[in-house]
Structure 1
Amino acid sequence: MFQSFGKILMLLGVLIFVFGLILLIADKIGSKIPFLGKLPGDILIQKRNFTFYFTLTTSILLSLILTLVLWILSFIFRKH
């Protein structure tokens, strides 16, 4: 019982660490990934003093990638 709980805690620690790293370097990463937020289907509305971004396609793509990663992790940590 404690072995599986330990694995979960280690996985959560790694995920929190990676998320923190992404937050620290988000500005640098965002400017170097040219397609992020500019895919077909992403909505950008600009007025004089108003800008609205609705990154529909980017959100769907990131959701699919995250789903795949979590599915792989659940497959790895599945009890046999």
Structure 2
Amino acid sequence: MAVGLEGIGRLLIGAAVVLLVLGVLFLLLGRFGLDRLPGDIVIRRGNFTLYFPIGLMILLSILGTIILNLLFRR
């Protein structure tokens, strides 16, 4: 199945919109103080910092599951 340039263009625009929404979401989460939740792992060693946001990932997973269940409910 061949995809024309029009299909590729729509795919790229859709991907850009998704990235824009995710970017705005993360900016808003940071402003509301949800960038550091309980359960997040931060390791600092000299000039190296590892930040692993387990609490934020769990929260986003729960919210995503609820939203997708509401959208795709039959």
Q: CA RMSD in A?
A: 2.5
Name the residue aligned to 2:63: 65
Change (3 A) 1:69 1:55: same
31, 44, 49: which one pairs with 1:51? 49
| TM norm structure 1 | 0.59
The one-letter code of the counterpart of 1:29 is L
**Where in structure 2 are there 5+ consecutive unaligned residues?**
1-13
1:20-35 correspondence to structure 2 within 5 Å: 20-23=19-22, 25=24, 28-29=27-28, 31-35=30-34
Q: How many residues align?
A: 60
Unmatched tracts of structure 1, length 5 or more: 1-14
Partner of 2:63, secondary structure, is: helix
Give the TM-score normalised by structure 2.
0.63
Give how far 1:72 is off.
0.4
How far apart, CA to CA, are the structure 1 residues paired with 2:21 and 2:69?
21
Tell me which moved more, 42-51 or 23-32: 23-32
Cα deviation per residue 1:7-28 (whole Å; 9 max; x = unaligned)?
xxxxxxxx753x2323554674
Q: Distance in 2 between matches of 1:45 and 1:69?
A: 32
